[in-house]
Amino acid sequence: MPVHEPRFALTAESCFTVGKKLKMNTEGAHMPEVYGIGDFRYNFVENWAKLPAGMSFKECPGVAIDSNDNVFVLTRGEEPIIVLDRDGNYIRSFGKGDFSADRTHGLYIAHDDSLLCSDDGIHTIQKFSPDGTKLLEIGERNNPSPRWSGEPFNRPTSAAIHPENGDIYVSDGYGNSRIHVYTGAGEYKFSWGEPGIDAGQFIRPHNIAIDSEANVYVVDREAHRIQIFDTDGKFQTMWSNIHRPDSMVLWGEHIYVGELNGMGGVDDAPGLGHRVSIFDLKGNLVSQFGDKNEGEGPGQFIAPHGIAVDSQGSIYVAEVSFTIRGSHMNPPKELRSLSKYTLAK
């Protein structure tokens, strides 16, 4: 069984310490802090998202970028999908009435800029055009399959589209350990996977992506790994020792992964997740950033849950920070749940 443990030339400590101190240029002015290493070094963009008065994210389980660098944000607020431009300016919002109140979950954008949205509260995958027109809904709304039955769906987490034939691949999810495949028209084709830790089994398939070579990547969050299959579900290899990989996006020749914080009992432990890791397509770790301690400051995260990259290589990280932290505060508080990092120059 091919199993690959990600290799990294530098220590994780080197990633955490990069940018900890303000640097000075030759004229004595402060330079932006830098996060990551090598060709993947980033600056945090302060106060990037600019929402209209009275509008909020609450929190952001997903984010995706279209071919024009418009940023689609999946929220758990009153506006389920909010669209911003690359500079963070508000464009429009849509989706009211189409989703559950607080369990929107995953967002994916296809080669034609169509959107796939998973909602584990109503057990559906919905497809929208970029202007917000609803094109398709898969799954019986509010009628989940029996837990662990293997039948679609029980709290699906994410979906992706095969770029060649339009097939839709769904990770399912919280009440199943299964991948389901549908035609582009929403007709069921086949499934694979079951609960377990062996190759081809899953604890919690939480996100899915398909590359240009028709490899299917599945983040198996609680198993701390990414499994790779062909489009028929045949196991190829796995990348292990990735802390609770929660989200991923393919961009160029690399995969960007958001890692969630620690599991219950160690959820506030330093150094467990709340970071971004970047891999090449062979599973080698090329960069990583995120402070050891969770937070809302530059270079810090609380609960990465969605990730996207624009045409300039900037990274957008969406977080379920209200679910993980803010909802447990007294009184409950909305925390930062969307951030942008531009490539350092």
CATH of the domain at 12: 2.120.10.30
Indicate the pTM of the whole model. Answer: 0.93
Instruction: Classify burial at 199, counting beta carbons within 10 Å of its beta carbon; exposed 0-12, middle 13-18, buried 19 or more.
Output: middle
Alpha-carbon span 281 to 80, nearest angstrom: 32
Q: Is there a contact between 337 and 322 (Cβ–Cβ < 8 Å)?
A: yes
Query: What's the confidence (pLDDT) of residue 23?
Result: 52
Q: pLDDT digit string (tens) for 187-208?
A: 999 999 999 999 999 999 999 9
Give the three-class secondary structure for 218: strand
**Closest among 14, 3, 33, 60 to 297, alpha carbons compared:** 33
Range of the domain at 177: 3-343
Domain count for the chain: 1
Q: pLDDT digit string (tens) for 62-79?
A: 999 999 999 999 999 999
Residue 94 tokens, joined: 């849509």
Q: pLDDT higher for 49 or 24?
A: 49
Residue 256 tokens, joined: 């960007």
- Give the N- to C-terminal CA distance of the chain in Å, as an integer: 42
Phi, psi angles (nearest 5°) of residue 12: -60, -35
Q: What is the mean pLDDT of residues 286-291?
A: 97
Query: What's the confidence (pLDDT) of residue 315?
Result: 98
